[in-house]
A and B are shown apart, each in its own frame.
Chain A
């Protein structure tokens, strides 16, 4: 999307417990504007798109936190969540986990839950994919950043 975004004030803050990663490359002007905290401009169409995007961020973060809660009930603890947007309506939530849980039989239940949450939240204006990654000490932050993972879950 090639939209002209004017740099004014920060009007879009992430939901509680989430932090913006401001050095990411998203390849999308509207998403960039959100990440960099730029105002969406005066254009009515852009305002509508920006509102849609903000609404979808709220959905993406809340369903991700829901999966986090459900995983805790199964004694599966995630070490973090990152979110990227592939446009205004499509999101990917990447959950960082440990290898022991990841290869255990109980992790199958996480895929069942994530599919359920994905289907429940899906609409013409919102789509999310949940992804999981076993991490030791080899997380490639540069790759995450260049792929546009702009939100990070930070609740203690």
Chain B
């Protein structure tokens, strides 16, 4: 099935933002956030589309996380959790890396959005690893 090139464009667009922020030392929190949202779109590019059994019977094409939420998802889970669970099946080699970034994005408010440069650098290296895996 043909991959969604718009997802790739969105990921590359976000990556430019992340790289731009990384030229300075004042925005480690936004570096982490942009690294996460870059990775999210790389993962989406890798995972979608695919076919899944539809609720009505037969098969349906799942093109994005919204389709997955409607057609198959556990209603208790957020779209972020669903995408992570999809990554656990379709992107096993970088699952822990994606979960690290997802985790950072979800918990930032509990540290008053303070993040250090080493943590931001880790986020960038993880994002680059995810990119390499997803566009290979």
B103 at the interface (CB under 8 A from A): yes
- Is A103 touching B118 in the complex (CB atoms < 8 A)? yes
Size category, A interface:
20 to 34
A134 at the interface (CB under 8 A from B): yes
B116 at the interface (CB under 8 A from A): yes
Main secondary structure of the interface of B (DSSP, over half): helix
- Is B122 touching A103 in the complex (CB atoms < 8 A)? yes
- Is A139 touching B111 in the complex (CB atoms < 8 A)? yes
How many interface residues does B have (CB within 8 Å)? 22
A65 at the interface (CB under 8 A from B): no
Cα of A62 to Cα of B118 in the assembled complex, Å = 33
Cα of A143 to Cα of B5 in the assembled complex, Å = 39
- Is B103 touching A99 in the complex (CB atoms < 8 A)? no
- Is B116 touching A140 in the complex (CB atoms < 8 A)? no
- Is B107 touching A94 in the complex (CB atoms < 8 A)? yes
Chain B contacts for A107, CB-based, 8 A: 100
- Is B122 touching A127 in the complex (CB atoms < 8 A)? no
Cα of A131 to Cα of B110 in the assembled complex, Å = 12
Evaluate whether A99 and B118 lie within 8 angstroms (CB atoms) in the complex, with A94-B110, A115-B95 already known.
Answer: yes
A89 at the interface (CB under 8 A from B): yes
**In the complex, what residue of chain A is closest to B81 when comparing beta carbons?**
A129
- Is B95 touching A143 in the complex (CB atoms < 8 A)? no
- Specify which of A86, A102, A129, A139 is in contact with B110 (CB 8 Å cutoff): A139
* Chain A residues engaging chain B, CB cutoff 8 angstroms: 86-87, 89-90, 94, 99, 102-103, 107-108, 111-112, 115, 127, 129, 131-136, 138-140, 143-144
Identify 18 residue pairs between A and B in the complex whose beta-carbon atoms are under 8 Å apart, listed by A's number. A89-B76, A94-B107, A103-B122, A107-B100, A108-B97, A111-B95, A111-B100, A115-B99, A127-B76, A127-B77, A131-B107, A132-B107, A133-B110, A133-B111, A134-B111, A135-B111, A139-B110, A140-B109
5 closest A-B pairs by CB: A111-B96, A133-B107, A103-B122, A108-B96, A138-B111
* Chain B residues engaging chain A, CB cutoff 8 angstroms: 74, 76-77, 81, 88, 95-97, 99-100, 103, 106-107, 109-112, 114, 116, 118-119, 122
